Amino acid sequence: MSADTTYKGNAPRLGFVGLGDMGRGMGINLAKAKFPLKVYDLRPEAMVEPVDAGAIAAKNVREIIEFADIIHLCLVYDEQILNIVLGEDGIIARGRPGQIIVIHSTVLPAVVEQCAQAARAVGMDVLDAAVSGGSPRSLAGTLTIMVGGTDDAFERCKPGLDAMGTSFHVGDVGTGQAMKLTNNVMGICNRLIYLEALKIAEAYDIDEKTMN
């Protein structure tokens, strides 16, 4: 992995934690866009591709907190988000006023609202920036990003968000997650309707290829 780098200019320093199926492509595209970027994942091998694209590998989350102005999180569970943001060694405990936490994980709106309330009390801010599109679009940099939060935080984070896809500011904190849940419900319902329609076709010996 590459050595540390000195960045020039006024670009915000970014941190990215969670380089799984979705986060890997997001981290790669932020690195390709030449943002000052440190990445971290519990699995060292997950950091290789973002580092090859220009990121710096962090040794731990604390290093991300110390480095970044904007910290992107792409984890799996509500508990992981609450721990990394609100925990004893977390971002709010170790961070500084002016930092923005961007939550890409699909979690309950109440989770991001809880994080935002705690962040504002210490001069930080939170965006919930739920993503849709799957890992192929994550790698292609064409995700749909549904963002809830203040206008100011959105504008500060928008250049980074736009490196990963197309971002839409849909309202206050929590609305990004609500939009993602709405999107998921519509997708599931459309799939169920499709399966029910197939039963009619099957009853008349029409194959699925013809239906499609």
Q: Are strands 70-73 and 143-148 parallel, antiparallel or unpaired?
A: unpaired
**Is 198 inside a domain boundary?**
yes
Q: Would residue 2 count as lying in a domain?
A: no
Q: Three-state DSSP class for 19?
A: coil
Least-confidence region, from 98-107, 128-137, 188-197: 188-197
Per residue in 119-171, pLDDT tens? 999 999 999 999 999 999 999 999 999 999 999 999 999 999 999 999 999 99
Which residues belong to the active site?
Answer: 180
Q: Does residue 29 form part of some domain?
A: yes
Gap between the Cα atoms of 52 and 58, Å rounded: 14
Residue 184 reports pLDDT greater than 70: no
169 found inside a domain: yes
Measured N-to-C along each axis, helices 23-32 and 151-164 cross at an angle, to the nearest 10 degrees, of 90
Contact call for residues 163 and 35 (beta carbons, < 8 A): yes
- Split into its structural domains, the chain has a count of 1
Report yes or no on 156 lying in a domain: yes
**Do residues 129 and 159 lie in contact, with contact meaning Cβ atoms separated by under 8 Å?**
no
Q: Which band of pLDDT confidence, cut at 50, 70 and 90, is reported for residue 6?
A: very low
Q: Is the pLDDT of residue 175 over 90?
A: yes
Q: Which domain holds residue 105?
A: 14-211
Q: What does the pLDDT look like over 15-57, one tens digit per residue?
A: 999 999 999 999 999 999 999 999 999 999 999 999 999 999 9
- Amino acid 46: pLDDT: 97
Residue 5 lies in a domain: no
- Answer yes or no: is 96 within a domain: yes
Residue 6 lies in a domain: no
Residue type for position 193: I
**3-class state of residue 166 by DSSP:** strand
* CATH number of the domain where residue 55 is located: 3.40.50.720
- Beta 37-40 vs 14-17: how paired, if at all? parallel
Nearest C-alpha neighbor of 12 from the set 61, 63, 96, 71: 71
> Do residues 54 and 3 touch, judged by C-beta distance below 8 A?
no
Among candidates 104, 126, 122, which has minimal Cα distance to 173? 126
